[in-house]
Amino acid sequence: MMNYYSPLRYVVPPDEEGFYLKTILQNRMGLSRKLLSRLKLTEQGITVNGKREYISIKVNVGDVIEIRMQEEESEDILPQDLPLEILYEDEHLLIVNKESGMIVHPTHGHYLNTVANAAVHHWKERGENVRFRPVHRLDQETSGVLAIAKNPYVHQQISEQMIAHSITKEYLAIVHGTVAEDRGTIDAPIDRDPEQPHIRIVTPSGYRAVTHYETVRRYDGITLVRLMLETGRTHQIRVHMKHLGHPLLGDKMYGPEADVPVRKSDGSPAGEARDAAEGCAAGEGVRGAHEADSAAGGLARPSAAGFAAGEAPTADVSGGVPGAPAAAPSSAADDAAGPELARQALHAYRLGFVHPGTRERVEFTAPLPADMQAVLDACE
């Protein structure tokens, strides 16, 4: 006997009287051709008022259309009891706050200690048979909100929203130097470095990449910035901020640390704060926002603690590309947190999209992690 996930339902409204069932499935419920073909061959894949029907029939007002997908498992992923911070879960989605250092999906030679291992174990404990389908990826060292679809329909629907650029993806980053602009847009194409294929660079022959940014708070030698992705190129934020003249703290691939010896701390939040304090102690502390902000109705900058509590700034991010890269990273930033931060200071703070099950817009946020918060606290 086949087991199915919870059905997805659509009730035919008056203005769709007489529509073909295929039209409803493709144009209203958004099924891809591949998934539609798959459901047609499934015993209870497509039903109208509880009865299996051909997709060539015409529907009537009030008809209840349901699609059902067979339960699946990730047989190649070993369940592993690992910490997993769950922000939200229902029958369609699992939203987690990924910790830094954790790979999303097993790769060759790295079969354990991933988000996938933890998620599969979590579902086994709940008695659920679910195949691991991350909607997007985060770099190993990047922390924050990660969305995982629990069936192929949900994965397809959110993926299409990403292609249409209708998903909200916001990040928080601590960067070297004082970012002069309050807000701006980096529109610079990205492609592989021909000499080092694992590295991305800004190049005129690359693929279009657009990152919007806002300055949240300026410290002595470092800046907390909020970034919104319009495109999703590999390493986009890291490459663009380097291009702007403000690489991320702790970025061993794109930051100043890649070219200088790295002095390691003990890696604990307390150790990071202590190391950062050494660099910030002689500085000027927090730098005030431009006075013109309030007069022009610009970005209101919350405190770092405000971000940790889930607050977020609001502002129009349609500003133009800065005319030239800002000042090079200062020695204060190097002494502060950059070399001592155990990873790049990048956190996926907010993710928003239309929920495929409820068709309502939802947003999920993850507070600033302890290691990044410790760096900012040390510079207060």
User: Which residues carry out catalysis?
Assistant: 139
**List of residues 6+ apart from 309 with CB closer than 8 A:** 367
| Alpha-carbon torsion angle 297, 298, 300, 304, nearest 10 | -170
Between CA 172 and CA 292 the distance in angstroms is: 23
Alpha-carbon distances of 127 from 4, 37, 83, 113, 156, rounded to whole Å: 13, 29, 18, 21, 24
For residue 308, give the 3-state DSSP assignment: helix
What length does the chain have?
380
State how far the Cα of 367 lies from the Cα of 373, in Å rounded to an integer. 9
The strand pair at 64-67 and 46-48 is best described as antiparallel
Question: How far is it, in rounded angstroms, from Cα 155 to Cα 134?
Answer: 8
**What are residue 164's phi and psi, to 5 degrees?**
-80, 0
**DSSP characters for 245-308?**
T-PBTT-TTTSGGGGS-------SHHHHHHHHHHHHTTS--SBPPPTHHHHHT------HHHHH
Q: Which residues pair with 10 in a beta bridge?
A: 65
- Residue 178 structure tokens: 């004082």
CA distance linking residue 153 with residue 357, whole number of Å: 9
